[in-house]
Amino acid sequence: MSRLDARFAALETEGRAGLVTFVTSGDPDLATSQAILDGLPAAGADVIELGMPFTDPMADGPAIQAASLRALKAGQTVVKTLDMVRAFRKSDSDTPIVLMGYYNPIYSYGRDRFLADAIEAGVDGLIVVDLPPEEDAELCLPAMDAGLSFTRFVTPTTDARRLSSVLANTSGFVYYVSIAGVTGTAAPDPSQVAAGISRIKSHKAVPVAVGFGVKTPEQARELACVSDAVVVGSALVGAIAHTLDDAGRAGPSTISSVLDLARHLAEGVRAREVA
């Protein structure tokens, strides 16, 4: 059983939803980013999405776009991102890590080399937002054959025929986009999210994590009542940005601000148990 499968099975046994946290690797610098990554499980993250910085993150909102640019300016690379996972695994062998990003950096790195190095580093899965199901032979199928999960996005506008195609080779979990638009730009409606998740599960028995627009513990709690996990990214990345100095350098509260917010979000998710 993979780490992702084991974590979602454990969450089901515990009768609660999970918290999936997103941060961009190397933002605002390598050391600070590593400290945040290392601290997320203790702060309540059940699954970690680690963003691979890219110059043109078209599916992301302003906060994550800015995080990618900060990381790239600080010298972050695919090699350094994988090294961060290796360092994380020295103290945490249980928390799943999913790399999220775009295909260009993977292609430039070399697909087969990337898959081998990702597995060796301790990566559990991939989310590659610009490779549709029609391109599964390019990365999805080789990744799954190598032992990595491949998570797909489903949106409120995904019709029935497209849904079957999207879910065909999805593994680990499905990422349900709770709003129409880019990350971090609007608030989700729990009742509409519940209907969307029901539609997904009628096609395939797979955990569904809900993201886009989740910013507060209250929103996290509401969505935890209708999903298997809640994804928060822009709010955490925004917490980094708010603590930087005028030169974009980390301040004394950068790490603690992110981890404190993660704790509050985890408390919101876990509040489903007593709601």
Nearest to 132 by CA among 95, 169, 178, 77: 169
124 catalytic? Reply is no
Measured distance CA(36)–CA(22) in Å, rounded: 11
Tokens of 257: 């601000």
Task: Give ∠ CA 137-140-143 in degrees, rounded to 5.
Answer: 110
49 catalytic? Reply is yes
- Whether 273 contacts 225, CB under 8 Å: no
- Whether 218 contacts 275, CB under 8 Å: no
Tokens of 139: 């990365």
Q: Which of 46, 60, 124, 228 is catalytic?
A: 60
Sequential DSSP letters for 31-91: HHHHHHHHHHHHHT-SEEEEE---S--TTS-HHHHHHHHHHHHTT--HHHHHHHHHHHHTT
Give how far the C-alpha of residue 96 lies from the chain's centroid of Cα atoms, to the nearest Å.
10
- Whether 262 contacts 40, CB under 8 Å: yes
Q: Which of 27, 29, 46, 49 is catalytic?
A: 49
Which residues are known catalytic residues?
49, 60
